C-alpha cells in the first residue's frame, strides 16, 4: 500500500502542511494525476491539474506533469488542500446513476466495458464537471477501484474500458501499449472513395494549438501513427468505413481521414468548415465499435462490441437508396 500519515496526523481536510507519499509496487505505472485522485478523494480533477501545474506537487523533489508515470519508490509531495472528502464529493442524481449502469456492455471482477455516448467526456476537467469515470464512481460508491484503461474523444461514441483492479489496469495498459489490443471503429467519411482498403502511415504532432484548443497535424517529427480504412458501404458523396487502429494517437482517425481528402462526417475541427454533411447528422460520425484483447487475468481473449446508436443508424437509412 502507499505510505500513509503517521498516527496522530491531522485529517486531509484540516492539514496545514504537505505530506509525503511513497509509491508502492501496486501504484507503480500509474499517472501522477490518477494517483492524486486516489490520495485526495473528492478533489475535482481540474483542481488536481492546478496544483500539479503550480508546482505544489513534487515527485522526488522535482516538478512533474500530470501524465508522468510513477515508479515504485518515487516520493510524491502532496500539498494541503481544502474541500476534500464529503464537501468535495461528486453528487449524482439517481437518474444519472441508473443511466451509467445501463450503459455497461460487459462486467466481471476485473473490468467493465461501457458504451460511451457522443458528447460525454471520459473524465471531468477543463470546464467539464462530470465525465464517465466520475459518474461511474458516484454511482458505485462502494467500489474500491475504478480507473480508465484508455480514452475516447468527447465526440466519439463506443467501447470504453474501465479496470476494477490495479493488476487488471496494468495488464490492460500493456495490451494497448504493445499493440496486442485490436481496435475497430466505424466512420462515415465525406468524399468519393476510390479503390479498396487504404492504409495511412503518417506521424502525428500533438503539441499544436488552434483557438486555444489542442490541434493535431500530420508531419515529420511527430509520433508514428498507422490507420487502415475498409470501405463498407458507398453512398452519394460519402462512404461508411470500418477503421482499424494500430496506434492510439490523439485524434488519429480524424487527422488521417482528412489527410487523404476524406474527412469524418460532422468533424468541424479537421473537416471542411461549413462543408456538406448528411441529412440528420448532428454529431461526429465516429464510433468505437469493437475491442478484442487478452483478458487481464490470462483467461483467454475477450471481445466487446458496441452497436451504433439510433441517430447514426437513422443517418445511414436516409443515405441508402
Is 312 within 8 Å of 266 (Cβ atoms)?
no
DSSP code, position 250: T
The 3-state secondary structure of 112-135, one letter per residue? EEEEECCCCCCCCECCECCCHHHH
* Inter-residue contact 284 to 311 (CB < 8 Å): no
Number of H helices, E strands in the chain: 7, 15
| CA 139, 143, 145, 150 torsion-angle sign | negative
Q: Say how far residue 24 (Cα) sits from the centre of its chain.
A: 25
* Torsion from C-alpha of 309, 312, 313, 314, nearest 10 degrees: 120
CA 28 – CA 289 distance, rounded (Å): 31
Contact 149, 110 (CB under 8 A): no
Give the residue carrying C-alpha cell 453528487.
Answer: 91
Catalytic residue among 9, 24, 109, 153: 153
End-to-end CA, the chain: 61
CA–CA separation, 219 vs 205, rounded Å?
7
- 74 annotated active-site: no
Three cell numbers written together for 144: 474500491
Strands, sheet with 58-59, edge to edge from the N-terminal-most edge strand: 19-22, 75-78, 58-59
Pull the grid cell for residue 71. Answer: 515508479
Task: Supply the residues annotated as catalytic.
Answer: 153
Amino acid at each position: 500500500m502507499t505510505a500513509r500519515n503517521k498516527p496522530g496526523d491531522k485529517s486531509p481536510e484540516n492539514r496545514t502542511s504537505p505530506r509525503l507519499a511513497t509509491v508502492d509496487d501496486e501504484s507503480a505505472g500509474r499517472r501522477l494525476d490518477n494517483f492524486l485522485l486516489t490520495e485526495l478523494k473528492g478533489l475535482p480533477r481540474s483542481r488536481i491539474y492546478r496544483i500539479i501545474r503550480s508546482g505544489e506537487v513534487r515527485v522526488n523533489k522535482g516538478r512533474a506533469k500530470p501524465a508522468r508515470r510513477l515508479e515504485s519508490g518515487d516520493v510524491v509531495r502532496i500539498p494541503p488542500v481544502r474541500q476534500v472528502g464529503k464537501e468535495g464529493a461528486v453528487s449524482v442524481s439517481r437518474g444519472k446513476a441508473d443511466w451509467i449502469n445501463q450503459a455497461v456492455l460487459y462486467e466481471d471482477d476485473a473490468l467493465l466495458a461501457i458504451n460511451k455516448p457522443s458528447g460525454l467526456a471520459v473524465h471531468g476537467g477543463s470546464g467539464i464537471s462530470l465525465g464517465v469515470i466520475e459518474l461511474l464512481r458516484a454511482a458505485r460508491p462502494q467500489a474500491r477501484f475504478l480507473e480508465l484503461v484508455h480514452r475516447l474523444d468527447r465526440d466519439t461514441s463506443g467501447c470504453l474500458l474501465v479496470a476494477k483492479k490495479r493488476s487488471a489496469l496494468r495488464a490492460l495498459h500493456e495490451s494497448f501499449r504493445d499493440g496486442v489490443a485490436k481496435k475497430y471503429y466505424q466512420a462515415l467519411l465525406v468524399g468519393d472513395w476510390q479503390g479498396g482498403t487504404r492504409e495511412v502511415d503518417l506521424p502525428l504532432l500533438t503539441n499544436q494549438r488552434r483557438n486555444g484548443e489542442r490541434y493535431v497535424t500530420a508531419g515529420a517529427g511527430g509520433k508514428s501513427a498507422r490507420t487502415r480504412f475498409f470501405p463498407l458501404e458507398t453512398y452519394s458523396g460519402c462512404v461508411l468505413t470500418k477503421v482499424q487502429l494500430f496506434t492510439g494517437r490523439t485524434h488519429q482517425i480524424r487527422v488521417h481521414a482528412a489527410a487523404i481528402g476524406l474527412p469524418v462526417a460532422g468533424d468541424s475541427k479537421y473537416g471542411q468548415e461549413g462543408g456538406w454533411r448528411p441529412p440528420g447528422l448532428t454529431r461526429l460520425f465516429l464510433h468505437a465499435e469493437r475491442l478484442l484483447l487478452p483478458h487481464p487475468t490470462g483467461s483467454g481473449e475477450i471481445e466487446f462490441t458496441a452497436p451504433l446508436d439510433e441517430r447514426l443508424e437513422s443517418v445511414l437509412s436516409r443515405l441508402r437508396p
